[in-house]
Amino acid sequence: MLWRPAYVGLGSNLDNPRLQIERALTALESLPRTRLQRRSSMYGSTPMGSVVQSDFVNAVAVLETQLEAGELLNALRALERELGRSASTERWGPRRIDLDLLVYAQLRLEGTQLQLPHPGIVVRNFVLYPLNEVAPELEVPGHGRVAELAAQVSPEGIWRLEDEAMPP
Which residue in the list 100, 108, 124, 163 is annotated as catalytic? 100
Which residue in the list 39, 95, 96, 124 is annotated as catalytic? 95
Which residue in the list 4, 39, 85, 96 is annotated as catalytic? 85
Which residue in the list 23, 39, 96, 98 is annotated as catalytic? 98
Our answer to whether residue 98 is catalytic in this structure is yes
Q: Return the bridge partners of 160, or none.
A: 43
Our answer to whether residue 15 is catalytic in this structure is no
* Of 91, 151, 133, 159, nearest in space to 7 by CA: 133
The catalytic site residues sit at 85, 95, 98, 100
